[in-house]
């Protein structure tokens, strides 16, 4: 039997908190696009995000987070290579034909980022609960109210931040820019992961994330997320935003979208 270091039910709680981040980020970014995004593609990319995020969290833990937390040095090369791999994989998934058909790159990038971030949050909460070595210097350790509250804060910040990066990459993919944005996304992921690593030991480091989220959300609402709409649907979306009327989930074919 594999020793998890914590009871299974505590790991399940950590996973549940991580998934709360999907709900928070979806409500924050996709709620205004109800009726205008390709739901099947967005859902599929969310599932891809869960899978890739599980691999990413394991690699981030061993290559970047553990060396930082144990003062073994700053693994700059590993950090950049891991972030570059993630950003290139993101760009690859967002430029597949199934995503491109309905210009769904920005919204698919948003949901892919939510999946990535939620899995990273699960790892972070797990490490907070299971860590008993005081030399790491986490703000909170063990299973308790303070850890759960801190975990919810991470769930609100991390997936949302990664969704913004994913949507920005999707917007660039829609505009025909691929490799240069991928390298810029590498830097963004590197800075985000470093901020999170220090934020678990020094909470003020995390305070930069709300400001980034506010800026990114505003830009996504105005530019990135609506960029995949046809002129006709963009006019309808603008009209509905003014009136505040909600619509059903968009499910149209390529021929209808081209009208």
Residue 2 lies in a domain: no
Total domain count, the chain: 1
How far apart are alpha carbons 91 and 108 in whole angstroms? 11
What pLDDT was estimated at residue 178? 84
What pLDDT was estimated at residue 1? 44
User: What residue ranges of the chain have pLDDT lower than 70?
Assistant: 1-4, 29, 34-36, 133-135, 237, 241, 244-259
What pLDDT was estimated at residue 255? 44
**Residue ranges making up the domain that contains 145:** 8-257
Residue 114's closest CA among 191, 19, 40, 12?
Answer: 19
Residue 116 lies in a domain: yes
Q: Which 3-state string (H, E, C) describes 145-195?
A: HHHHHHHHHHHHHHHHHHHHHHHHHHHHHHCCCCHHHHHHHHHHHHHHHHH
Residue 120's closest CA among 54, 169, 66?
Answer: 54
Surface-to-core class of residue 165, CB atoms within 10 Å of its CB (0-12 exposed, 13-18 middle, 19+ buried): buried
Residue 176 lies in a domain: yes
What pLDDT was estimated at residue 259? 43
Surface-to-core class of residue 78, CB atoms within 10 Å of its CB (0-12 exposed, 13-18 middle, 19+ buried): middle
How far apart are alpha carbons 96 and 184 in whole angstroms? 20
Q: How many CB atoms lie within 10 A of CB 190?
A: 20
What pLDDT was estimated at residue 244? 59
Give the ranges where the chain is alpha helix by DSSP (H): 8-29, 39-60, 66-69, 76-94, 97-100, 105-130, 145-174, 179-199, 208-219, 231-243, 254-257
Six token digits for residue 15: 């996973």
Residue 1 lies in a domain: no
């Amino acid at each position: 039997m594999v020793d998890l270091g914590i009871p299974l039910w505590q790991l399940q709680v950590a996973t549940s908190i991580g998934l709360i981040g999907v709900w928070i980020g979806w409500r924050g970014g996709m709620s205004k696009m109800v009726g205008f995004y390709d739901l099947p593609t967005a859902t599929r990319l969310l599932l891809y995000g869960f899978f890739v995020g599980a691999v990413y969290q394991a690699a981030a833990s061993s290559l970047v987070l553990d060396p930082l937390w144990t003062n073994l040095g700053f693994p700059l090369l590993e950090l950049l290579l891991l972030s570059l791999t993630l950003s290139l994989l993101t760009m690859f998934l967002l430029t597949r034909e199934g995503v491109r058909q309905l210009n769904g790159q920005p919204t698919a990038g948003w949901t892919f980022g939510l999946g990535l971030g939620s899995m990273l949050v699960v790892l972070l909460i797990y490490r907070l609960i299971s860590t008993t070595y005081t030399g790491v210097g986490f703000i909170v350790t063990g299973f308790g109210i303070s850890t759960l509250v801190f975990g919810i804060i991470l769930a609100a910040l991390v997936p949302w931040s990664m969704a913004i990066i994913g949507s920005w990459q999707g917007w660039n993919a829609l505009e025909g820019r691929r490799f240069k944005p991928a390298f810029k996304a590498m830097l963004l992921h590197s800075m985000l992961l470093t901020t999170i690593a220090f934020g678990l030991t020094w909470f003020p480091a995390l305070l930069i994330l709300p400001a980034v989220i506010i800026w990114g959300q505003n830009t996504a609402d105005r530019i990135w997320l609506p960029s995949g709409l046809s002129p006709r649907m963009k006019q309808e979306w603008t009209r509905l935003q003014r009136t505040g009327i909600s619509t059903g989930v968009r499910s149209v074919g390529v021929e209808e979208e081209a009208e």
